[in-house]
Each structure stands twice: as C-alpha cells, then as structure tokens.
Structure 1
C-alpha cells in the first residue's frame, strides 16, 4: 500500500473523517502534518497544492485533494486502486 500524507489541524472534523476513511481502507502508513502547529508546513502545503484548506491528502506523490475529493474517489470505486502499490 502506498504511503499517505495528510496535511491537517487538530480541530478539523474533515481531517478526522479522512483519517477514518483511510483507516477503513487499511492504510497504516499515514503521515499527518499538523499545519496549525507548524506554520511553515501550511506555507509548503499551499505552495504544492494551491489550496489553503485542510485536509490536503497525498497518496504517494499524487495530490488527491481534500476529504470531499477522497470520499468521491471512494464512492467511484477508484480509491482502492490508488492506494495499491
């Protein structure tokens, strides 16, 4: 399974929902970057995604977007293939 990186904050319900969805898919290799604790990481996140909101989720090197995007991929049956090695 590919590694997943989630840029989020400590008080973000969409971040929590994204983590739960990924856990339900068996993702064990999740790196969570707290942009509320590391402002320089928010700047980095914005520079690589063009977005200010959290969560911002990467599967491997692929930016899939936020929770709504992740959930849409799952509903369309495409998330499992993205997570697979």
Structure 2
C-alpha cells in the first residue's frame, strides 16, 4: 500500500470527512496539521502549489486533491486500485 498523506486544519469538517473515508477503508495515513502554518504548510504548498484549502490528500506522489475529490474516486471505483498500487503512484 502506498504512503498516504493528508494535510488538515483543526475544526475542518472536510478534513474529518476525508479521514473518515480512509478510516472506513482501514487505510493508514500520515496527518500533517497546517492550522498554525509552519513547515507542514510550506510542504503542502510545495507539493500542491495551487492548493489553498484543506484537506490536501496524496497517495504516493499522486495529488488527489480534497475531500470531494477523494469521495469522487471512491464513487467511481477508482480509489481502491490507487490504494493497492505498489507505492509508485505518480
């Protein structure tokens, strides 16, 4: 299973929704809190230069986008194949 990163802020309902979907699928992920800015926020901006909202989700090196994007992949049946990849998702 590839590494999953999710950039979040405190009190973000969309972040909670995205994490819930990943939890329901028993996907482990690394949560990066960008509430107060700092290095985590700068890292998020480097990885997703046009992203201005949270959550920002990455599966391997693939930028998924936000909570709605993650849910759309799930509805389309495309999320599980990404999560089963060998970790070299580009």
TM-score, structure 2 length as denominator?
A: 0.85
CA distance in 2, matches of 1:75, 1:39: 34
Query: Secondary structure of the equivalent of 1:43?
Result: helix
Moved over 3 A (4+): none
Aligned length: 84
Matched, 1:9 2:1: no
Q: For structure 2, which runs of at least 5 residues remain unmatched after alignment?
A: 86-90
Q: Which runs of 5+ in 1 are unaligned?
A: none
- Tell me the equivalent position of 1:32: 31
Partner of 1:84: 84
Q: Within 2, Cα distance between the matches of 1:68 and 1:62? A: 16
SS of the aligned residue for 1:7 comes to strand
State the secondary structure of the residue aligned to 2:11. Answer: coil
Q: CA RMSD in A?
A: 1.2
Q: Give, in angstroms, the shift of residue 43 of structure 1.
A: 2.5
Q: Return the alpha-carbon distance in structure 2 between the equivalents of residues 26 and 37 of structure 1.
A: 28
Q: CA deviation at 1:38?
A: 4.1
Deviations 1:28-79 (A, max 9, x none): 2x10000014423212212321211000000011110000100000000000
| SS of 2:30 mapped into structure 1 | strand
What TM-score do the two structures reach when normalised by structure 1? 0.90
